[in-house]
Structure formats: C-alpha cells, structure tokens
Chain A
Amino acid sequence: MPFESGQVPQGEARKRIVMQYYPYLLVFVVFDVVGMFLFAWGMSFANIPASDSFLVLLFLILLGAPLGYALKMALKRENW
C-alpha cells in the first residue's frame, strides 16, 4: 500500500467509475470504424476517379456534424 501513508486501506476499492469522459468513448467507437474505412480509401487515392474521392469526402463531412455535436455535448459536464 504505497499510498495512504502505510495505513490499512479503507473503503471498497474499485468504487466508482468516472463517467465524465464516457461520451468520448462512444465517439471513439464510431470513429474507430470511420478511421479504418478512411485507410482503405487513402491507400488507393491516387488511382480512383475524383468522383469517388468526393464521395468519401462527403462521407467524412456528413459525419462531421454529429462529431461536433457529440464533442459539444461532452463538454457539458452535468449530463454525465
């Protein structure tokens, strides 16, 4: 017990989880998938016609609005 100055630790350990940053986990799960799709696109960027790249950029932009909203909601701490 290096902390608590050598006294016997009190209280149940693993008591509570900090839920303050939970929305960031949700954003991470979604953008994990998005990131992997973007790698597939980025690999072949030089070889595909511009309309396909524009489609993937549209895909990104469509996800930008929920991302902004999620990050803004994550800042309001009383929600969690």
Chain B
Amino acid sequence: MVSLPTTPAELLPFIIAVVTSHTFITLVFFPGFIHLTIVVMFLTWYERKLLARIQLRIGPLYAGGPGGILQPIADGVKLIFKEVMIPYKADKPLFLGIPLALVFLGALPFAVIPFGQHWVIANLDVGLVFVFAVGSLFPSMILIFAWASNSKYPFLGGLRSLFQQVAYEIPMWISALSVVMLAGSLNLVQIVDAQERIWFIGPAFLSFIVFFIASMAELERLPFDLPSAEPELVAGWFTESSGAIFMVIFLALYMKVYLMSCLITVLFMGGWWGPAFLPQPIWFLLKALVVATFIIIPRGVYPRLRVDLLIKLGWTRLLIIALANVFITVVLLSTGVLSAWGL
C-alpha cells in the first residue's frame, strides 16, 4: 500500500511509485488516454471510408498519407478554428461545460473494460453495473444541453433523444443479465474468463441481438437516427454547437461507439480469447473492430425509423425478447446443458 507523502523527503519515492504502478501505465498508455484518443480518431476515419465504399465512392483521400489517414486531425484543426456561436440567452456555463462532461463520462467506463488478462485499469467487482450506471447519466445530460441551447429544434431533438435512450436502457440491462447469469459475476474480467471455451454469443444469442440493437439505439446511429436527423431536425440536440463544442460532442459520440463495441466484445464475443499466436489485446482490438464495422454498416444501408415506432420497439418487442432469453438462460443453467463448456 502506498500512502500519501507527508514530508518532502517522501515526495520523490511517492511519485516514482505512482508512475511505475500498473494503474498509471494502463491509465495513460494502453487502455487509457493515448490509446483512446488514437482509436477514436481512427474510428471517425474508418467510418467515413467504410460508408464511402458502401455508397460506391472513395471517402477522405487527400489528408496526408495513404488514403487520407490524417483526415481526423484535419477535421480537428478546422473545427478548432471555427467560431463558437453561443445562442442568444443560452445558458453559457452549461452550454460550454456539458460537452466536456459528456466526453468525461464517455471515457470513464473504459476504466473497467479489460483488454487482456491484466490490461485493465480498475478491476472492479461491480464492473458491469458501473458501466451501466455511467451510461444512464447520458440522457439527462443531453436533455440539459438541449435545454441550454435555448432554441426550439434542439430542444425537441433533445427530448426525442432522451426518450429514445431511456427506452433502450432496460432491454440492454436485461440482455446483459443473461450474460451475468451465465458468467456468475459482474466483474468484467471474470465474465471474459468464463468465455474461455465458448463465447456467450452461443447460449445467449437472443440477448446478443437485443443488446446489439439496443446499443445502436443508445448511440443514436441509423437506423435510430431521428434525434439527429440530418435533413429533418438539422442536427437535433447539438444543432447549436459549432466549432470546438461540436468537435467535443463528436468525440464523445465516437467514444461511445467504441465503448459499445468493446462492451459487446467483452460480454458476447469472448473478450481477448483467441489462438495464442497473437497477443491478447490484439485479439480484443480485432474483435472490437469487427463489431464496430457491423455498427457502422447499417448507417449506409437502412432507412430511418420513425420516433414513436422506435420507442415502442424498444419497450415492447426488445424487452420481451430479452426477458425470454433470461428465462431460456435459467432453463439452460438449471438443466446443466452447458456444463460441457464449464458454465
């Protein structure tokens, strides 16, 4: 146990102990800040290239390097130099502060997601519930931000976003409940450990479908795009954000995409397990990339869902399917069918 320094002589050993500790290294380097910023920027580029190929065009091409790989940096520079317009009588501290809070809360659950057997920043025993608790803070922050913009259309978009995200939280939780029952723990490292012989996408396939659809609705991606419906509501709840504020919100949205991909990988696709010729974090990143691809592709393929149909879909159909899978899991575990795979 390291204790806080009380005398100046203890300061240097304290700093050395902190910097070389596992927590600090994972926090800054691998599943922490540097990795997160690089991957989120890469994800924006990846989405644009992927959608471009689906739509039979090429996507970003000129921004340095092969295939426009520095495009996110170019976007960032452009957005920083744009003027930040704050609407008349908008609530300034909230308008400027909430995007930062969104990024903070979008990055916070990464502290518990394991990228490898030991590549986790904080191995909490309540890891999964921590992710869901932090995720439940998003709808209220979006509502406050939409209110703080003091305009009709963002407010309407913010309300729709609130109802949509709230509608898909419960099916997400119930489908994760099936995974928790199969693994017997809320600790994300133990959930991945339990998938050593079989990935949970097998026994909990219905849950996987529900969780995948619910996470696409939480991320407000097409086909659940109505709060930010580009031709209809201009940009929904972040209409009034411009320049640096838009960049921060954009980063927060893509951080959530990466978070959901990592969460689906951890819960359903076996985390870091794979044949031993690649190190564990590489398997994790590959699987997360595959999941992110499947989250991005529907944006170029499907039409948008109307908002009341969308909310009804979350509350009725998905909830019933998720509950059905909980009952199926109860039956599977009680009859011991899965004991061949160690569950």
Say whether A3 contacts B333, CB under 8 Å: no
A1 contacts B by Cβ under 8 Å: yes
- Report the bound CA distance from A35 to B87 in whole Å: 39
B170 contacts A by Cβ under 8 Å: yes
Selected A-B contacts with CB under 8 Å, 27 pairs:
A2-B235, A2-B240, A3-B234, A3-B239, A14-B147, A15-B152, A17-B159, A18-B159, A24-B166, A25-B163, A25-B166, A27-B315, A28-B166, A31-B170, A35-B174, A35-B177, A39-B129, A39-B173, A42-B181, A43-B184, A43-B185, A45-B181, A53-B330, A57-B330, A60-B323, A71-B315, A75-B312
A6 contacts B by Cβ under 8 Å: no
Say whether A38 contacts B174, CB under 8 Å: yes
CB distance from B145 to the nearest CB of A (A): 13
Say whether B150 contacts A32, CB under 8 Å: no
Within 8 A of B (CB), among A1-46: 1-3, 9, 11, 13-15, 17-18, 20-21, 24-25, 27-28, 31-32, 35-36, 38-39, 42-46
Say whether B163 contacts A3, CB under 8 Å: no
Q: Which residues of B contact A (CB under 8 A)?
A: 87, 128-129, 136, 147, 150-153, 155-156, 159-160, 163, 166-167, 169-170, 173-174, 177-178, 180-181, 184-186, 234-235, 239-240, 308, 311-312, 315-316, 323, 327, 330, 333-334
- Report the bound CA distance from A3 to B156 in whole Å: 13
Q: Which of B87, B163, B234, B327 contacts A21 (CB 8 A)?
A: B163
Most buried by B among A25, A31, A43, A44: A43
Using CB atoms, name the residue of chain B closest to A31: B170
Complex interface: chain A residues within 8 A of B170 (CB): 28, 31-32, 35
Say whether B155 contacts A13, CB under 8 Å: yes
Complex interface: chain B residues within 8 A of A36 (CB): 129
Say whether A2 contacts B234, CB under 8 Å: yes
Complex interface: chain A residues within 8 A of B315 (CB): 24, 27, 71, 74
A50 contacts B by Cβ under 8 Å: yes
Complex interface: chain A residues within 8 A of B178 (CB): 42
Q: Which 9 A-B pairs have the closest CB atoms?
A: A42-B180, A35-B173, A21-B163, A42-B181, A45-B181, A42-B177, A13-B150, A3-B234, A28-B166
Given A2-B234, A42-B180, A43-B180, do A21 and B150 touch, yes or no (CB 8 Å)? no
CB distance from A28 to the nearest CB of B (A): 5
Question: Main SS of the interface on chain A?
Answer: helix
Complex interface: chain B residues within 8 A of A53 (CB): 330
- Report the bound CA distance from A6 to B129 in whole Å: 45
CB distance from A26 to the nearest CB of B (A): 11
CB distance from B184 to the nearest CB of A (A): 5
Say whether B181 contacts A28, CB under 8 Å: no
Say whether B166 contacts A11, CB under 8 Å: no
CB distance from A50 to the nearest CB of B (A): 7
- Report the bound CA distance from A71 to B166 in whole Å: 14
- Report the bound CA distance from A31 to B166 in whole Å: 11
Complex interface: chain A residues within 8 A of B177 (CB): 35, 38-39, 42
Complex interface: chain B residues within 8 A of A74 (CB): 315
Using CB atoms, name the residue of chain B closest to A70: B315
The 0/1 profile, CB within 8 Å of B marked 1, for residues 51-74 of chain A is: 001000100100000000001001
Say whether B163 contacts A24, CB under 8 Å: yes
CB distance from A45 to the nearest CB of B (A): 5
- Report the bound CA distance from A20 to B240 in whole Å: 25
Say whether A11 contacts B169, CB under 8 Å: no
Complex interface: chain B residues within 8 A of A39 (CB): 128-129, 173, 177, 180, 186
- Report the bound CA distance from A61 to B265 in whole Å: 31
Complex interface: chain A residues within 8 A of B327 (CB): 57
CB distance from B234 to the nearest CB of A (A): 5
Complex interface: chain A residues within 8 A of B155 (CB): 13-14
CB distance from A13 to the nearest CB of B (A): 5
